[in-house]
Structure 1
Amino acid sequence: MLKKSPVTLIFLLAFSFPLFAQLILDEQDSKPLPEGVNLSSPYHTTLSFFIHLDPDNFNPSRAARTLDRRGVEGDPETLAIKLQQIFEGKGIIIRTSTIPNEPNYQDSTSNSEHKYYFDKNRIPGIYLEKRGSQWRFSAFSVSQIDQLHAETYPFGTDQLLNLLPKMGTENYFGLQVWQIFGMLILILLTFLSHLVFTFLVDKVLLYLMNRMGYGYIGENYLLPIAKVTSFYLIVVLLSLLLRVLQLPAEIWAWIVLVFNTLKPFLITVIFYKIVDVIAAYFASLAAKTASTLDDQLVPLLRKTLKALVILIGTLFILRDGLDLDIIPFLTGLSIGGVAIALAAQDTIKNFFGSIMIFIDKPFQVGDWVTSGEIDGTVEEVGFRSTRIRTFRNSLMYVPNGKIADAVVDNHGLRQYRRFSTTLTITYDTPPALIEQFVLGLREIIASHPNTRKDLYHVYFNNLSSYSQDVMFYLFFEVPTIKEELQARHEILIQVVKLAQTLGVRFAFPTQTLHMETFPEKKGLVPEPMDGPGYENLLKEFFRKELGKKLD
């Protein structure tokens, strides 16, 4: 025989120990099953497990025979009890009538393997697996028991499962004494939690916000969020503690359904209200800018975010609350989205048109725009259309896609607003008077506070069929059409007063009949003056109307 060193023997023992342990487990599994334990099908295995954990027929050692403990350490009876508590804590009702009673059952959703899943959504890692001729809870499932138990009863609540039953197990109204006491304690904790959260929210939070100078924000925006958050925390607390009471499966299943629905619902409400805070913040930023288009963007952003929150929240409620598989729904939604996109090309075009308007900012709210038949003041920019108030006071709804493709003349972005007209004076106006009239017009433009001083034209530039024409061309430096009209009004009033002061008459299409002048009648033609005479009249006009002296 070959001699082996002690080190070699140690290595052989170390590597062979798992094999020996596995052989021991296999030997245990090969032992005859005790009475009442049947592992021939998923139905019989499930029945054997839960019957022997029933309080009236409590025998955890027999229930543990349904576990495949290969490679898993730990007390088998403890593992069996923990597995039952996982089913109860998650509110999973086992209806034996729906469990297959076929020794060769195959799961069609997992490559036709010999497996049976109880609930793939809530406990996907717990399933029965056929090994040889026997169905057991799979080795993988057994290895996950401790972890799932800790997730089902977190923060040390699993310790209450051992402490509360010591209060008494007598039955009253279908509940044990310790369950009734536990419910009373939970009611008291809920009441105290509500008082604590109310105090923290209504008193402490508002006090701190008022001290920081944000009392309005705290009361109108943060307080509603804090209240809903307090309700959510109470629901979470109840969901953690109620499962410790081990209520009857039929009752607890409905309670779990309510809690699983309330949690995503309250979270959705919280984010829905957070959107108001975000919108208020962006609204404050938009109010500091000169642009009015971002003021319209904030409400659209708020509506879009709220719709997105509602959509995502609904999906979570369907998945967690109603235990529905949303993957097929999302798949169908994506396929249906393509069909909807093809059927709603104009709507999508208008949507992207609105995005281009907000990015390029070709106009703002309040601007006067012109484009083909479009002529009016922008009142609102939406995701689909832009609302324009025409000068007939009617409303024009223009699709954003049309505006994005059109040439838009934005009068509201003008730095200077041009004003051009022709002042027609009669042919009997002397040249010297015309010269003084033109000088007076130029001084009116130079003296007005809202005119451009470096560019204006006032010239006697044409002889028309019935008048002598003076070009009156200037620019107003005003931001809105209202201020432009006011400036025009002031300028034209000064022009009329200047003409009256100098004796200049405005011409209009007429027919003149020349008659012999009677000595006692005075003609309409003003008596001509010398140069200084007209200058004195012009100086008098400047002194009275413009409050300045002309050198």
Structure 2
Amino acid sequence: MYINKYLIPLIFLLLIYSGQVFGQIVLDENQIPIVPEDFHSLNTPYTATLSFFYNLREDNYDPKTAAEALKLSPDNQAEAEKLAIKLKQIFDGNGVYVRISEVPNYPDYIDSLYSKQAKFFFDTKKLPLVYLEKRNGEWKFSAFTVSQIEEMHKETYPFGTDRLLNFLPKLGNQVYLGLHFWQLAGLFILILLLFLSHKIITVLLDKGFLYALAKLGYGYVGEKYLLPVARVTSIYLIVVMSSLFIRLLQLPIEVVAFALKVLNAAKPLIITIVFYKIVDIVAMYFGKLAEKTESTLDDQLVPLLRKTLKAFVVIVGTLFVLKEGLEVDIVPFLTGLSIGGLAFALAAQDTIKNFFGSIMIFIDKPFQVGDWITSGDVDGTVEEVGFRSTRVRTFRNSVMYIPNGKIADSTIDNHGLRHFRRFYTTLTITYDTPPQLIEVFVEGLRKIVDNHPNTRKNAYNIYFNNLSAYSQDIMFYIFFEVPNWTEELRCRHEILISIVSLANGLGVRFAFPTQTLHMESFPEKNTLVPSYNHDMALYQGKLQEFMAKELFKKDSKD
């Protein structure tokens, strides 16, 4: 919006300045070239060029003589004069400034750069189809150039604007401030068109565009993201209009060349700004998609994607500004960049390896932010994934930065992707525990697992499975369905408390590495070996009593 406000006054000042320059060029007699007496002979590229341009000057207007530099038959003189005038307008409209002093002035000139023939090209970038060639001892514009004049004229003055070239001079040729009256009128019309375009576009965007988006439910998105893009696009339309109409004013070639250079540079610059803002819209869209996924790695990818795209847009836009505006040949630059890029790649192998490692992490998604991973010496929780390294918070609360290239080549154990967390231990009970009590104890352990809300019910193993040196061993192998380690520790605590409570309720004793010396008992002395009741019903009753207590505790918590 602010660019629109200041763009039109800047163009106005530029055109007023061009009028002053025009007046200086017209009145400055030193700008009139020294004309040799034989310049009508067309025997060199210099005399042919001078004859053509000198006879189309305002103070020496002779299109009939200028048309002699075109390859046309004498019977078609009127058509030759029209084509000569249009060819001069093509030079002026494209801002091609011909320096007469740099044109070769010898008859046997050979173009050693492009064609290796008797040809002279004026500007191979802006007017590659316009050149002089030597035929029958005379230098004239080539037949191919003459055949392309009409087409080039339409490209230089598109959309019917060439008609204004004949209409504007009819408004008057009086000179004011170094400009003809028709040129001043053209300036006024151009500024009026720019002002009206600015107002119309502003109303359409602020009123119509935003209103339509608000009706569709995208008012916030339109005002924050789409409206800035539309406003910058409107500036592009104004620049295009300026580049079209400034050619019609027939200003001095130096001014037209400078103005077109500025406007040609502004076009890719504005397009770069548009795409720079479009990147924000794309990032917002992918950000919304990332919010819908369970993976937190997408949330890290979106900001990195936005920064990468913006850097790419800026680099490409800068190259086009240099090429279109400053007319810098970027091909040698790109060639040198490729060679330098090879040397840079050899010197920065680790950096490139880390970059591609980060790409593989984002594609394969071996982990996401918040996962607990183990890889070699790395053991901790992932906090951030960058383009070069991944940041992991260890359980010592320190931070480790691991190059992504190393992670991509390593084996990663992602504990965060576990659906269930295993808990395995061995319950050792004393050898004097009778089989009936062991059966009831194992049954009670299974009921503890079945009643716990966070255990896997269809896959656990609790069996009396070993006789070790000092104990009878019960394998206790279960899984917790919990999201993190903290919840796993809580569930372990609850299960172990229940196991100890069950053992105390049933009278089961846990064994530990000991050596027991058994002595013969005396009638009046009791041994240290406990006596067990082998009544299965008694133990089942104790188990039911324990489970009733556990159920009561659970109901009390709920």
Letter in 1 for 2:215: R
* Offset at residue 71 of structure 1 (A): 12
1:263 aligns with 2:267: yes
* Corresponding residue SS for 2:131: strand
Partner of 2:57: 54
Corresponding residue to 1:541 among 529, 533, 549: 549
Instruction: Return 307-316 or 352-361, whichever deviates more.
Output: 352-361
1:148 aligns with 2:148: no
Which of 157, 176, 195 aligns to 2:180? It is: 176
Q: What are the Cα deviations for residues 12-65 of structure 1, in whole angstroms up to 9, with x where unaligned?
A: xxxxxxxxxxxxxxxxxxxxx998624232222222211111111111111111
Structure 1 match to 2:3: none
Q: Does 1:320 align with 2:328?
A: no
| Alpha carbons of structure 1 residues 486 and 69: separation in structure 2 relative to 1, 3 Å | farther
* Partner residue in 2 for 1:66: 69
Equivalent position SS for 2:324: helix
CA shift in 2, pair 1:111/1:466, >3 Å: same
From the superposition, tell whether residues 311 and 185 of structure 1 become closer, same or farther in structure 2 (CA, over 3 Å).
same
- CA apart distance, 1:75: 0.9
3-state DSSP class of the match of 1:319?
Answer: helix
Report which stretch shifted further, 235-244 or 64-73: 64-73
Say which structure, 1 or 2, has more relative contact order (CA 8 Å, 6+ apart): 2
Q: Distance in 2 between matches of 1:346 and 1:177?
A: 68
Asked if the contact 1:367/1:410 (under 8 Å) is kept, the reply is: yes
Deviation, 1:168, is 1.6
Instruction: Note if 1:377 corresponds to 2:381.
Output: yes
| Distance change in 2, residues 1:142/1:490 (3 Å) | farther
Aligned twin of 1:44: 47
Give 5+ residue unaligned stretches, structure 1: 1-32, 515-523
What is the CA–CA distance in structure 2 between the aligned matches of 1:92 and 1:513, rounded to whole Å?
115
Q: Please say which of residues 498-507 and 359-368 is displaced more in the overlay.
A: 498-507
Question: Distance in 1 between the 2:373 and 2:51 partners?
Answer: 81
Query: For the residues of structure 2 that align with 1:397 and 1:360, how far apart are their CA atoms?
Result: 20
Structure 1 pair 408/536, CA: closer, same or farther in 2 (3 Å)? closer
Give the equivalent residue in structure 1 for 2:231: 227
Q: Does the aligned pair in 2 maintain the 1:225–1:273 contact within 8 Å?
A: yes
From 233, 240, 246, the counterpart of 1:242: 246
Structure 2 SS opposite 1:392? coil
Alignment of 1:399-438 (within 5 A): 399-423=403-427, 437-438=441-442
| 1:287-340 Cα deviation digits (max 9, x unpaired) | 333333344333333333323322222221111111122222222222223322
Q: Deviations over 1:435-479 (max 9, x none)?
A: 655444322211122211122233455677887765432111234
The answer as to 2:285 corresponding to 1:285 is no
Question: TM-score, normalised to structure 1's length?
Answer: 0.82
How far does residue 141 in structure 1 lie from its aligned partner after superposition?
A: 1.4
- Shift in CA distance, 546/498, structure 1 to aligned 2, threshold 3 Å: farther
Taking a change above 3 Å as real, the CA distance of residues 426 and 200 of structure 1, as seen in their structure-2 partners, is farther
Give distance in 1, aligned partners of 2:307 and 2:74: 55
More displaced 10-residue stretch of structure 1: 317-326 or 329-338: 329-338
- Closer, same or farther: CA 88–475 of 1 in aligned 2, 3 Å: same
User: d(CA) in 1 for partners of 2:271 and 2:461?
Assistant: 68
Select between 108-117 and 358-367 the one with higher mean Cα deviation. Answer: 358-367
Aligned counterparts of 1:426 and 1:507: Cα–Cα separation in 2: 5
> Given the superposition, is the C-alpha separation of residues 177 and 429 from structure 1 closer, same or farther in structure 2, using an over 3 Å criterion?
farther
Distance 1:338 1:531, change over 3 A: closer
Percentage of matched positions with identical amino acids: 62
1:392 alignment partner in structure 2: 396
Counterpart Cα distance in 1 of 2:132 and 2:530: 119
Deviation at 1:505, TM superposition (A): 7.4
Q: 2:328 is paired with a residue of what secondary structure?
A: coil
- Superimposed CA distance per residue, residues 492-517 of structure 1 (whole angstroms, 9 cap, x where no aligned partner): 45445556666777777899999xxx
Which whole-Å CA distance do the structure 2 matches of 1:527 and 1:199 have between them?
Answer: 99
> How many pairs does the alignment contain?
508
Amino acid at match of 1:444: I
| Residues 362-410 of structure 1 deviation map (CA, whole Å, 9 limit, x = unaligned) | 2233322211112222333333333323222333222222222222112
Q: Structure 1 residues 283 and 72 mapped into 2: Cα distance closer, same or farther (>3 Å)?
A: farther
Query: Could you tell me how far apart the structure 2 residues matched to 1:100 and 1:492 are?
Result: 101
Trace 1:27-106 onto structure 2 (pairs within 5 A): 37-69=40-72, 75-106=79-110
